[in-house]
Chain A
Amino acid sequence: MDKEFITIREKETAVKIQNTKINAIRTKDIVKKGVRVYKDEKIGISGAIGDISDKALVDNAIENLSANISYPYDLSAELKDHRDYSKEKISSNDLAELAEKILERLRKEYSDFDFSESINTKEITYTMKNTQGLDLEYEDAYMSLGLILKDKKSANVFDGFLQYYGRTFDLDKFWEFNEELLAAYRKEVPLPEGKTLPVFTLEFYELENFLSRALNGELYATGSSIFSNKIGEQLFNEKITIQQNRDPKYRPQAFFDMEGVVLKDDAYNLIEKGRLVNVYTDKRTAHTYNLPHTGAASGAYDGMPTLSRAPLRFLVDSDDIKTALDGQMAILVAVSSGGDFTADGSFAAPVQVGFLFDGQRVIGKLPEFTMRSHLYKLLGEDYIGTFPNKHLYLGEGILLQGYYMDIVR
């Protein structure tokens, strides 16, 4: 009988902020353990929060074999890969001091706004080991700052955000960018003229969710993906390459999937130069539907490996937004909540906070509007490009993506 052990340790300090003052400090140090046992092509699982003995967890997993859940796949084996991405670990005291320093300046120079929520540091150690010689370890430490911005003259619940995520934090760069951003929050400007305008996004969750469903191997193979039967077809603008990407350089995540698979360069191309070349799969999906295995298993620490969604990333295909805009003013979307794609790819979303953007600098805050498009237009003829983020100090791994969209005022 083979055994597999997953251990996640998370240590966190959170400085909680209300009305631009520290009102609480929270510490957390939690271990989550999962165990899988494999016997006669069956899998049994168990898990617990807290430092429970491996023996107790193995006994529970053996008991779970009676559920008769089939797992006739080879375990990941004979691979040792330990990686530590942490660069600097900030102590609770240092974090509180840093938070106070930022808040003091916000209170003094930006008293027309209120700031709330938190500044956190998190240290994570994530290991996966099995009796077939698999030995994977991912260590990381990062800071995240998420401050809700509220204009004191506004009757909104909130009016925007200050944010940062990364492994190193440069206070000077933070202020250099956020002085510009806060000045833009204070300066209301009208939307540029035109029915169709260039729109730039930093994190386009609706698009990522839609693509994640469409590129899911199970949905593809069963005919329920909008891309079903289209492998090999040119779907999008030929500039576009989309990867299943687990590189922790871009976001704080383990470099292996929940079946212990490590990809070459931590990535697998799904869309290449606009052409659909693969869909993402775990071992079961690849076997069942005769698709290439892309190492995309997900699942809880104490659960079955399964296929739900994979981390996707567009490759940078363009360099300079200002050059691409050629003097035209664009919109930078800061807060867009509640929009969605329909199943056939139509898209509409309200933009609660958007900025006038010249490709480098945010100029001023725009009134609320709605943006509209369709998947194949957005990533086809209306696609401008995916750009490195050179000017906006918001966090590591963030890209800027531009498209022309219809604007409803």
Chain B
Amino acid sequence: MYKFPKDLYVDVRIEETFETRISFKKRELQEQKVRKNKGAFVRVFDGNRWYYSSLTDLDGIQEAIDTLAQMATPNPEIMEHPVVKAFEVNQDTILQYENNSVTDIPVAEKQALLEGYLNLLDYPEIVYHTSYYVDKKTKKSIYSSKGTAVTFDVQTCGIRLNLELAYKENKDTGVVSKAAVYFDELKGLESYFKEEVEKNLEFVREAEPVEPGVYTVLLSPLATGVFTHESFGHKSESDFMVGDETMKAEWTLGKTIGKELLTIIDDGTVVGNGYVPYDDEGTKGRKTYIIKNGKLTGRLHSAATSAALEEPLTGNARAVNFEFEPIVRMTTTYIEKGNRPLKDIIGEIDKGIYVDTINHGSGMSTFTIAPARAYKIENGKITTPVRVSVITGNVFETLAEVDAVSEEFELLSFVGGGCGKMEQYPLPVGFGGPYTRVKKLNVQ
């Protein structure tokens, strides 16, 4: 297909995207946009440096390869280079959305679906709202000079209702959303949306400021997912570890990180935002146990980090789009479910905070969660809504403080937004888990 230059490693990633975006401001149609784009990312490696180019003219791929090759230094031993040796060679085609594709649904039908849900927003407390229907289908093809030739497609869609709320002097915002893979999954969600909207109304009417302090905190599956992603997921991205002896020592495989009930997984095979049948280097997606029964058992890799740390590939080299190179990123990251009913776990909390939904989170040595909806837990019951700016904890200490995980379990995806890592934002990821109890966290 392409003429790959001798004595260099080359790969080419071609992306064809179809996107729909429909938005309303209150009941007025604001935007109805269908975007179809194509682009490619070319990488050339000479064993010393990588040379990258992104382009939109797919007829210019060969020229881009040749131009980058001229910048590189031919290396007769390139196929023996540890990074090149690490690359999997796969030849496969997985086009599972040829039928039941979001591209086949008329845009008017998508608009009508969204418009129908606006009837659920007629409350005096909802003083303003914006709403979105979005979908995206991407077909990717990856070819390498080592012989990889894979083509696959991924697809997501979703509805998001942003609520501006006011009740007396109280102001707040709320988000109600549902992500899916197939358009039909977004139909018939009236009960779900109504229930979520009403939780937001109760919150703006009744939430009181939290008394800052250290609390036992119960995280919903959504909050568990964000906590896992921020507190631990980023630290398992091994590009942070390459060439860093302190990090390697700190994160030695086999080390005990938490209690036996704690298992954390990253799984690129879960269909949704984090679905990676093949990563952006052509490595097959897979399930990786990062922590198993409290012990560190794995981390996330690209070919380069896999070679540097001499650990197996995990299929986590991802790029936000064709303008960027793949770097180590999460896919769908979650805490494995436990075997205790939620009601028993709540029942053991005399005084605590329940985090239901979140605005955002972050993770360094200290992780943070900024809750959207949070509630007091008093004498084993979820009671009054409370306004919380931020919940923080030290990553190492907090993982050891996880003392209960529920049998109830959910995996989710956001509609809009995603994970950011330096210049590459937003990358769609999946997340979730059980209801998770953390014995001690700072609540502000």
Contact = CB atoms under 8 A, between A and B. Distances in A.
Interface of A: 16, 18-19, 22-31, 45, 47-51, 64, 67-70, 114, 117-118, 146, 148, 150, 152-158, 218-219, 222-226, 228, 302-304, 306, 335, 337-344, 346-350, 352, 368, 370, 372, 408
A59 B15 CA distance: 24
Contact of A155 (B212, B250, B369, B392): B250
Interface of B: 21, 25, 28-33, 35-39, 49-57, 71, 107, 111, 127-128, 164-166, 170-173, 209, 212, 230, 234-235, 239-240, 242-247, 250-251, 323, 325, 359-370, 387-390, 392, 422-423, 442, 444
A75 B71 CA distance: 47
Contacts of B31: 45, 69, 303-304, 306
Contact of B32 (A69, A70, A150, A225): A69
B243 to A, nearest CB: 4
Nearest to A20: B243
30 contacts: A16-B325, A18-B239, A23-B50, A24-B52, A28-B54, A30-B323, A45-B31, A50-B57, A67-B32, A114-B243, A117-B422, A152-B245, A155-B250, A155-B365, A156-B364, A157-B235, A157-B365, A158-B364, A218-B25, A222-B127, A222-B164, A223-B127, A304-B33, A337-B364, A338-B390, A338-B392, A339-B370, A342-B388, A343-B171, A370-B442
A306 B49 contact: no
Please classify the interface of chain B as helix (H, G, I), strand (E, B), loop, or mixed, using the class held by over half of its residues: strand
Nearest to B369: A338
B362 A337 contact: yes
A138 B423 CA distance: 23
A224 B127 contact: yes
Given A218-B25, A349-B390, 12 more contacts: A28-B54, A30-B323, A50-B37, A51-B56, A155-B247, A157-B240, A226-B171, A306-B30, A338-B370, A343-B173, A350-B366, A352-B364
A47 B111 CA distance: 20
Closest A-B pairs by Cβ, 6 of them: A338-B368, A224-B164, A338-B362, A50-B56, A24-B50, A348-B444
A49 B171 contact: no
Nearest to B396: A155
Given A50-B57, A338-B370, A352-B364, A372 B444 contact: yes
B343 to A, nearest CB: 29
Contacts of B369: 338
Contact of A348 (B30, B127, B170, B389): B389
A368 B323 CA distance: 36
A45 B34 CA distance: 9
Most buried by B among A30, A226, A344, A350: A350
Given A158-B364, A338-B362, A338-B367, A302 B35 contact: yes
A249 to B, nearest CB: 24
Given A30-B56, A343-B170, A343-B173, A67 B29 contact: yes
Given A152-B244, A340-B359, A304 B53 contact: no
Given A50-B57, A155-B246, A45 B33 contact: yes
Nearest to B393: A350
Given A28-B54, A47-B35, A152-B245, A224 B366 contact: no
Contacts of B36: 48
Contacts of A50: 37-39, 56-57
Nearest to B327: A16
